[in-house]
């Protein structure tokens, strides 16, 4: 951020500040923060002050889903970058409503959210950074912009697309482009619509017509796939009341629904024999990964957000053995420069007393703050991000620096227990001990792609 403050040029200056509004939680437990209008130098301070208030209830912050709604034609890039940094540190989502515009600096803020959500016809446009005085592109600013986009996990194609246009034009994002460029996004469900704010009514909102139609088709497909209940299919009010009376209230906060990511068919084993770049799949298959780290200075610890991509692959476990189907997860946490490969396969080696084998390989940068991974004691499965996990029964061993094998117990009582947890629980927890003795947990969301991957593998294993 210091480099950005010293070197960055802005997209625009002057004008009224954006209107930043924090709403009460809606019926789904979501807290919306609306950022509307041109983004100017004082907006980061206002945004930080207002969003910090949401997270003042200690551990309860982990149960909040904060969604930043963005409607803006852009503005100054320095406060936009600061707002983006706040969104990433706090783990907030971003959202561009249907029929509203988010361009220039606003679009770069939208990229910082996880997940990134949209309405049915969002208007998201990008162009290179420039000096508003000379109207000339800034090489230094765009170099920093490229580094920022890379830190979000975007590749060269995406960076080139987002910095291709000059100050007087825009590159408009479409669903097909999002898929090609590796821009992970989802459709906000339940949907949220808001009227056009008065300060934007005089500004033209419609991009070229060819941009709107792809989003409309995509939205219809997503809505059909997600199939939200209608009033006719929902449980009658009286019945709901009876159910509430029968079921005791638990002393925990319910899990907050999140936007449902786009889905795509899981690649077949034949397809998986080819190299698959995770960023090529992000638009449809990425699920949430959250790294919680112990911090002596903060009782709540630190959180870092990333993604996990689930798929099946065929592996050969030993010479002369037939190929076996395995579950694979490719995990990245960009802010920690952490990459992990996680795999689960059926054990066919009779000399190993295990039903299944889990292999975990950490790829750490040379300057990783904790030095490395000293231990992975096992695995846990849990129902939701905020719930406590149950440990799988087995034995973990270190096979190399930052590489571990976990054999799942073949004791008859343990077999059923482990398989049930693996198939039915929606999250995987990897507890970690760093070289500096601090602890961390890497939580992986299955989502529908993961559930489908586990179901396909266990079906192939006849379990």
Domains of the chain with bracketed CATH: 2-226 (3.90.226.10), 263-460 (no CATH)
* 43 DSSP assignment: H
Confidence of residue 179 (pLDDT cuts 50, 70, 90): confident
Among positive and negative, which fits the CA dihedral 375, 377, 381, 387? negative
Looking at every residue in the chain, the average pLDDT score rounds to 78
Percentage of residues in the chain with pLDDT exceeding 90?
Answer: 34
pLDDT tens, position by position, 154-173: 888 888 899 888 877 899 99
Distance CA 255, CA 147 (A): 35
pLDDT at 356: 94
> pTM (2 decimals)?
0.54
pLDDT of res. 130: 79
- DSSP assigned state of 390: E
E strands along 37-185, which residues? 65-71, 93-96, 101-103, 116-118, 123-126, 130-131, 136-137, 171-172
227 versus 311: which is more confidently predicted? 311
Distance separating alpha carbons of residues 117 and 279, to the nearest angstrom? 18
* 382/372 Cα distance (integer angstroms): 26
> Is 259 in contact with 404 (CB distance < 8 Å)?
no
**What mean pLDDT do residues 300-304 have?**
87
Compute the average pLDDT of residues 296-313. Answer: 86
Q: Is the pLDDT of residue 60 over 50?
A: no
Q: Are strands 101-103 and 123-126 parallel, antiparallel or unpaired?
A: parallel
Mean pLDDT of all residues in 319-332: 86
pLDDT at 46: 94
What pLDDT does residue 392 have?
Answer: 95
- Highest-confidence segment of 44-58, 207-221, 377-391: 377-391
pLDDT at residue 274 in the model: 36
Q: Which residues contact 96 (CB under 8 A, 6 or more apart)?
A: 69, 70, 71, 102, 110, 117, 118, 119, 122, 123, 124
- Which of 101-115, 266-280, 311-325 has the highest mean predicted lDDT (pLDDT)? 101-115
Tokens of 402: 């930052």
Q: What is the dihedral of CA 175, 181, 185, 187, to 10 degrees?
A: 0
Span 329-360, pLDDT tens digits: 999 998 889 999 999 999 988 888 899 999 99
- The tokens 């017509």 sit on which residue? 209
pLDDT above 60 for 277: no
In this structure, the strands spanning 403-409 and 394-400 are antiparallel
Q: Scanning the structure block, which residue is given the tokens 């190299």?
A: 275
Strand pairing of 403-409 and 390-391?
unpaired
**Rounded distance between C-alpha atoms, residue 403 and residue 393, angstroms:** 19
Under the banding of pLDDT at 50, 70 and 90, the label for residue 39 is very high
The CA distance from 453 to 97, in Å, is 31
Which is higher by pLDDT, 71 or 182? 71
Task: Return the SS3 of 376.
Answer: coil
């Amino acid at each position: 951020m210091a480099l950005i403050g010293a070197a960055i040029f802005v997209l625009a200056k002057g004008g009224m500040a954006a209107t930043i509004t924090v709403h009460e939680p809606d019926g789904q437990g979501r807290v919306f923060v609306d950022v509307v209008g041109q983004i100017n130098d004082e907006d980061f301070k206002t945004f930080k002050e207002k969003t910090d208030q949401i997270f003042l209830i200690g551990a309860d912050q982990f149960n909040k889903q904060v969604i930043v709604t963005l409607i803006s034609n852009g503005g100054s890039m320095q406060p936009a970058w600061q707002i983006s940094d706040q969104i990433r540190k706090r783990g907030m989502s971003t959202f561009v409503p249907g029929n509203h515009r988010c361009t220039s600096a606003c679009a770069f803020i939208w990229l910082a959210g996880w997940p990134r959500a949209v309405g049915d016809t969002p208007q998201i446009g990008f162009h290179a950074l420039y000096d508003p005085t000379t109207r000339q592109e800034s090489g230094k600013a765009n170099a920093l912009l490229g580094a920022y986009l890379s830190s979000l996990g975007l590749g060269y194609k995406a960076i080139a697309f987002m910095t291709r246009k000059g100050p007087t034009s825009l590159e408009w994002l479409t669903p097909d482009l999002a898929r090609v460029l590796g821009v992970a996004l989802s459709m906000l469900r339940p949907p949220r619509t808001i009227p056009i704010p008065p300060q934007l009514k005089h500004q033209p909102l419609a991009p070229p017509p060819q941009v709107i139609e792809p989003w409309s088709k995509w939205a219809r497909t997503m809505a059909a796939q997600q199939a939200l209940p209608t009033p006719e299919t929902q449980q009658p009010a009286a019945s709901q009341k009876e159910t509430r009376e029968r079921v005791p209230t638990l002393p925990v906060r319910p899990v907050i629904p999140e936007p449902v990511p786009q889905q795509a068919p899981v690649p077949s084993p034949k397809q998986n024999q080819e190299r698959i770049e995770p960023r090529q799949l992000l638009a449809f298959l990425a699920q949430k990964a959250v790294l919680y780290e112990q911090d002596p200075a903060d009782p709540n610890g630190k959180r870092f957000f990333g993604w996990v991509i689930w798929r099946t692959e065929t592996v050969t476990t030993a010479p002369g053995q037939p190929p076996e189907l395995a579950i694979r997860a490719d995990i990245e946490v960009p802010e920690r420069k952490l990459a992990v490969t996680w795999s689960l396969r059926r054990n066919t080696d009779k000399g190993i007393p295990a039903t299944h084998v889990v292999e975990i390989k950490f790829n750490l940068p040379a300057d990783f703050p904790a030095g490395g991974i000293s231990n992975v004691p096992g695995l846990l499965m849990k129902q939701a991000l905020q719930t406590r996990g149950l440990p799988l029964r087995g034995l973990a061993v270190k096979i190399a620096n930052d590489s571990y094998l976990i054999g799942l117990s073949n004791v008859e009582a343990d077999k059923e227990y482990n398989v049930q947890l693996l198939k039915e629980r929606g999250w995987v927890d990897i507890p970690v001990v760093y070289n500096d003795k601090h602890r961390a947990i890497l939580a992986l969301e299955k989502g529908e792609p993961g559930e489908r991957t586990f179901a396909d593998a266990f079906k192939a294993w006849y379990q």
